[in-house]
Chains A and B, each alone.
Chain A
Amino acid sequence: MTLSRTAKILLSLVALLAGAFIYVPLGVILINSFSADRSLTWPPSGFTTEWWGKAIDNEGVRSALWTSVWVGLVATAMALVLGTLLAFALGRYRFFGRETVSLLVVLPISLPGIVTGIALNNVFTSFLGGLTIWTLIIGHVTFCIVVVYNNAIARIRRMGSSLEEASADLGASSVRTFALVTFPMMRSAIIAGAILAFGLSFDEIIVTTFTAGPGITTLPIWIYQNLFRPNNAPIVNVVAAMLVIISIIPIYVAQRVSSDDERGAGVM
């Protein structure tokens, strides 16, 4: 497709503007985390690494970070197992109610977090004896499953079954076929799903609010609680900046993994 000169300039401007809206505020946070001022003032009056030092030494930040990582890892692991098994069941076998199950699996991603949160909260407090870190993890699994499932089923559909047939034909048992053909073909999709699931869990705040046991603070919850305490405002900036930097890594890895795969698996 060729575009006229005016259209090109116009499109570039729009793209630039859209990009600026997303990334300039993030840049401001990053700059502010090195600002010598206590409050959010612009332009900053000086440069300091004091807040970074304080943030790293802050007991609350450390324990919140550790909680977030732990919750994210466990929720991702559970979602990986359940989501992948679901994808195989729905992608490979025909049974009564298959379409309905497929809809029910994907639905939680579009449900408002506050609805999921209240519903889970009701069930946990009235039937399961209250909130703990495990209720929080289960809450996160409900939406983590969806991204794992979506990635896995897309790959299963594209892969078809002839590669597995070829493997069986060449003498490999079902277990060897899974180890040598199915899993390697699925690997990048599973990794991408896991990274997205971890990312979702790591920055989730609404479901977390309703399902976390007393005294359990994840990083986003810590930010929310400390945002309006004047003393902690600069540290909040640092934590936010850290989150931005930490988020870039898995997304970059996920993109690399799936683009490698495009090249490798393009032709069967």
Chain B
Amino acid sequence: MTDSVAIRLRGLTRRFGDVVAVDGVDLDVMDGEFLTLLGPSGSGKTTVLRMIAGFERPDAGLIELGGADVTRVPPYGRDVNTVFQDYALFPHMTVQENVEYGLRVKKVAKAERRERAQAALESVRLDGYGDRAPSQLSGGQRQRVALARALVNRPKVLLLDEPLGALDLKLREEMQVELKEIQRGVGITFVFVTHDQDEALTMSDRIAVFNAGRIEQLGSPTEVYEHPATPFVAGFVGTSNLLEQAAAQAVLGKPGTWSVRPEKIRVIGTDEPVREGEHAVRGTVREVIYVGMSTRFVVDLEVGGSLMAVQQNAEGSTDLGHMRGQPVLLVWNTRHEYKVAD
């Protein structure tokens, strides 16, 4: 990653009828960066991606690619390529012809484009599949053809619109690792759209969390997860675990809305000691949920509201169902509490 800006968005706005889909977005994407646009459906993340690609015209604002204003440039004049959610492979062409398409319309000589397409197919582990029709491939293979078709053009920026959405969980996790490796290998700027917070946390250098057409927070996965800037981010990335107003005042002695991540909270007996630098709150276990690697406790607080705590199922007995209805103490180090609103 260098310090130069690959994509610069300023005041980007797009309306569909009365709905403001994208509402004055400012964003700088650095060269070679893996940036994820994360948000629920309808938050404007896909519209931003489509405006960078050139499929949608912004109603207001500026789009720069590598320092040049491309706001009014059609898609075929922009040095970006897109991997579509439905892959959009040309069904009347073979895999090889699909991958060669971008080079063909740019009039690259036949021998060279053959060679480059084959290299691209190799890089996504699909060598030997060139003569097949897209309809003869599995979902994961089509996904990789779409990736090869985009990468073969060596664009400055690759845009990915929920490319793993149609794959099953196992394949999706494999592809996450693979995509990240490919991105590191080719050094191209990736802008990745997803609604899946795990995917965003796993792959990104930085995450832009979208809500209602605006960026709520922009930061590294650690920053976004550990220091959510707003209650929306705290809720959308990870479990929202909020101490609100009166409860915060009672437990922390401070006003505002505060967040503590579930895995930072220990569940102990009411007579156990609280350590130096920890906050503690009394409550009653409402629910115990066993999820394999860990157990989740939902605890109703005496001061009002509830918190979730997660404990690793390390060794010994992990059947903690008997704790339902028991009074407990929730404790956490004060450095894990974050103010998310006044």
Contact = CB atoms under 8 A, between A and B. Distances in A.
Chains A and B belong together in one complex: yes
Contact of A166 (B74, B84, B133): B84
B55 A172 contact: no
Contacts of B149: 170
A181 B149 CA distance: 15
B153 A170 contact: yes
Given A171-B102, A264-B133, A166 B90 contact: yes
A264 B133 CA distance: 8
A266 B91 contact: yes
Contacts of B153: 170-171
A264 B91 contact: yes
B189 to A, nearest CB: 16
Contact of A268 (B53, B55, B76, B86): B86
Contact of B105 (A165, A170, A267): A170
A154 interface: no
A107 interface: no
Contact of A184 (B92, B106, B133, B150): B92
Contacts of B86: 162, 268
B231 interface: no
A165 B55 contact: yes
Nearest to B135: A267
B87 interface: yes
A185 B92 contact: yes
B130 interface: no
B204 interface: no
A169 B89 CA distance: 12
A181 B311 CA distance: 55
Contact of B91 (A168, A180, A268): A268
B225 interface: no
Contact of B76 (A172, A184, A266): A172
B88 interface: yes
A235 B89 CA distance: 55
A267 B91 CA distance: 7
A173 B76 contact: yes
B187 to A, nearest CB: 21
Contacts of A267: 91, 134-135
A63 interface: no
B312 to A, nearest CB: 44
Interface string A112-150: 000000000000000000000000000000000000000
Interface string B254-293: 0000000000000000000000000000000000000000
A86 to B, nearest CB: 24
Contacts of A181: 90
B87 A268 contact: yes
A172 B103 CA distance: 10
A163 B105 contact: no
A122 to B, nearest CB: 45
A169 B91 contact: no
A180 B105 contact: yes
B81 interface: yes
A268 B92 CA distance: 9
A258 interface: no
A170 B81 contact: yes
Contact of B92 (A165, A176, A264): A264
B75 interface: yes
A165 B84 contact: yes
Nearest to A185: B92
A265 interface: yes
Contacts of A163: 88, 90
A102 interface: no
Given A168-B75, A181-B90, A266 B135 contact: yes
Interface in B16-65: 53-55
A67 interface: no
Interface string B65-92: 0000000001110001110101111111
A171 B89 contact: no
B232 to A, nearest CB: 30
A171 B53 CA distance: 11
A209 interface: no
Nearest to B91: A265
Nearest to B79: A171
B101 interface: yes
A82 to B, nearest CB: 25
Interface of B: 53-55, 74-76, 80-82, 84, 86-92, 101-102, 105-106, 133-135, 149-150, 153
Give 10 closest A-B pairs by Cβ, nearest first: A170-B102, A166-B88, A168-B75, A267-B135, A172-B105, A162-B88, A169-B82, A265-B91, A168-B76, A171-B105
19 contacts: A162-B88, A165-B75, A165-B82, A166-B89, A167-B105, A168-B54, A168-B55, A168-B76, A170-B76, A170-B101, A171-B105, A184-B92, A185-B92, A264-B91, A264-B92, A264-B133, A265-B92, A267-B91, A268-B91
Interface of A: 162-163, 165-173, 176, 180-181, 184-185, 263-268
Given A168-B76, A171-B106, 20 more contacts: A162-B88, A163-B88, A163-B90, A165-B55, A165-B82, A166-B90, A167-B90, A169-B53, A169-B76, A170-B149, A172-B101, A173-B76, A184-B92, A185-B91, A264-B135, A266-B135, A267-B91, A267-B134, A267-B135, A268-B86
